[in-house]
Amino acid sequence: MSQGGLLGLSRVAGGVAGLVGLAVAELGAGLIARDGSPVMDLATVLAWPLSSFWNSGTGRVLLMVLVVIAWLVLAAFAGQLELRRRHLSLFVIVPLATATLLAVSTQVGPGALGYVPAVLGLAAIYVTLRVLIAELRRPPGALEPLVAERRNFLKTAGLITLGGIIVAGTGRLLIQASNKVAEVRKKISLPEPANPAPTIAAGTDLNVAGLSPYLSTNGSFYRIDTALQLPAIDPDTWTLRVTGLVENELTLTYAQLLERPLTEHVTTLSCMSNEVGGALAGNAVWLGLPVRDLLAEAVPQSGATMVLSTSHDGWSAATPLSVLRDPDVAALLAVGMNGDPLPPEHGFPVRMVVPGLYGDVSATKWLTQLKVTTYQEDSGYWAQKGWAARGPVKITSRIDTPTRSVIGAGTVIVAGVAWAPPIGISAVHVQVNDGSWHKAELAETTGPDSWRQWVYEWEVDEPGDYTLTVRATDANGRIQSSKVAPPFPSGASGLHTVPVKIRPS
């Protein structure tokens, strides 16, 4: 066989070895019931210094695909080196192993068992590579033509690849089988709240077509987090630690949390990365333990200014201690959402909900620890990337309907939602082109921490192009800022506008 042909097949051998390594790592993760895998860990670490897109769900998936491609390219290069000289592939495999194990260490903690999938996968790469390269080096027999030699190699590589796919599939099935969160969650019966939320009156929902409902359903509620795979947490083994600058360190189990007097509260959550007019906001009924009750037992020390809440997957948020201790702020360790146990994608079994603060600095999902500390000593995940360390929600309003549509002349229903927790919304006005501001009708609300629907009936007779603008006023009389600012670093500002074309009736 020509040297060029051998080099090409050596790259194929490396790629196959890379696939086998990934497959074995998946199997290892399934056997020890790890939530993630080495590829996920690498993607998580690489996302850290990148923009918010790469830390979103879509960005993380794309980054994971790029990690797999890079892994296979490096493995193919290792195959080429191994063909040139035995063990030369280690110059690629050892650095790859080092980077992978360092990435794993950021996710699995000190337990040695968590490293097993990565070690097995990397070992599988080297062993598979040695087997396939040995097949390439084997001199052909006198009666074995070069075509048959190549066919035998590709047959061996194909069988190994098929085996790798089966192994990877088995690993995924094991991971899914070990994730019994859905079954456990169905058996949970949430207690009645000691402090129920106000009854949600019919007047909170205007029932306008295209308008966001007063309560967002669990399935439609926006999701922003850094988890490539949802953590599978058994509530029977879950604990929450309260540590740091406290007189009394505490450990709370899920059962103990449910036994305490729980509070129900309607709160609108929103993301600091939400664009003007964006959909990264939702309103729900939350059930949970007031954070201030737990902090009162822990007794924060003098000088403490912040609580660092940490997720099962290592994500963290830094929340002002003063806000969490404020008796007028319904900050909750939430266990329920709209009458059901928290969905896995929204933080099951326990998450933080803090009215008036963006989720980036408060709404930790899959909560495992509260560390009472200072802003000088610690910082949250997004603050380390340059986002604002403290994130009070800005007065926000949005037009839900109409949306960039062609409408007949006559009465046009303009409607949307507005929020300004913890102050609340007192008025919403709509402007047509550069004309005067017209007061919209406000729906009822359960309190200042939830959004309010609004509607304005626009009478228009002249066909043409128009621009609709909305502006909200909070309960203190502050008017929403018209100054345009991007989401980074402290949340977007500016007024939401929608272009509308009116056709002749």
Q: Which of 363, 385, 407 is the last residue of a domain?
A: 385
Claim to verify: residue 167 and residue 246 sit in the same structural domain: no
Domain holding 445: CATH number? 2.60.40.650
Q: Which two tokens stand for residue 192?
A: 């009645």
Question: Residue 346 — pLDDT band, cuts 50, 70, 90?
Answer: very high
455 backbone dihedrals φ, ψ, rounded to 5°: -145, 145
Claim to verify: residue 403 and residue 441 sit in the same structural domain: yes
Claim to verify: residue 330 and residue 369 sit in the same structural domain: yes
pTM: 0.76
Domain, as residue range, for 112? 3-178
- Give the start-end residues of each E strand in 32-118: none
Claim to verify: residue 330 and residue 413 sit in the same structural domain: no
Question: Exposed, middle or buried by CB within 10 Å (0-12, 13-18, 19+), for 187?
Answer: exposed
Query: DSSP characters for 87-151?
Result: TTTHHHHHHHHHHHHHHHHHHHTT-GGGGHHHHHHHHHHHHHHHHHHHHHHSPPPTT--HHHHHH
For 15, what's the count of Cα atoms within 13 Å in the CB-facing half-sphere?
11
Q: Between the CA of residue 177 and those of 30, 181, 232, what are the distances in Å?
A: 9, 10, 11
Residues 310-320: b if buried by 16+ CB within 10 A, e if exposed: bbbbbbbbbbb
Claim to verify: residue 27 and residue 136 sit in the same structural domain: yes
d(CA 388, CA 371): 19
Output the average pLDDT for the chain: 86
Q: Are strands 367-373 and 406-408 parallel, antiparallel or unpaired?
A: unpaired
Is the predicted pLDDT of residue 317 greater than 70, yes or no? yes
Question: In this predicted structure, which of 31-40, 42-51, 98-107, 293-302 has the lowest mean pLDDT?
Answer: 31-40
Q: Quick one: pLDDT at residue 181?
A: 74
Q: Is residue 183 part of a domain?
A: no
Q: Per-residue pLDDT tens for 77-88?
A: 988 888 888 888
Is the predicted pLDDT of residue 167 greater than 90, yes or no? no
Claim to verify: residue 264 and residue 359 sit in the same structural domain: yes
Q: From 418, 424, 377, 413, select the one nearest 398 (Cα to Cα).
A: 418
Q: From 20, 182, 189, select the one nearest 93 (Cα to Cα).
A: 20
Q: Which two tokens stand for residue 12?
A: 């194929």
Claim to verify: residue 355 and residue 420 sit in the same structural domain: no
Claim to verify: residue 323 and residue 225 sit in the same structural domain: yes
Helix (H, G, I), strand (E, B) or coil at 230: coil
Domain holding 333: CATH number? 3.90.420.10
Q: Per-residue pLDDT tens for 435-478?
A: 999 999 999 999 999 999 999 999 999 999 999 999 999 999 99
Element (H, E) at 241: strand 239-244
Q: Is residue 187 part of a domain?
A: no
Number of domains the chain contains: 3
Q: Cα 11–16–18 angle (5° rounding)?
A: 95
Q: Per-residue pLDDT tens for 10-58?
A: 888 888 888 888 777 777 676 665 556 777 777 777 776 665 665 566 6
For CA atoms 116, 122, 123, 125, the dihedral sign is positive
Query: DSSP characters for 310-324?
Result: EETTS-EEEEEHHHH
Claim to verify: residue 260 and residue 364 sit in the same structural domain: yes
Claim to verify: residue 327 and residue 362 sit in the same structural domain: yes
Q: Which two tokens stand for residue 184?
A: 């456990």
Q: Is residue 195 part of a domain?
A: no
Question: Do the Cβ atoms of 319 and 307 come closer than 8 Å?
Answer: yes
Claim to verify: residue 33 and residue 162 sit in the same structural domain: yes
Q: Per-residue pLDDT tens for 416-442?
A: 999 999 999 999 999 999 999 999 999
Is the predicted pLDDT of residue 307 greater than 60, yes or no? yes
Question: Do the Cβ atoms of 67 and 42 come closer than 8 Å?
Answer: yes
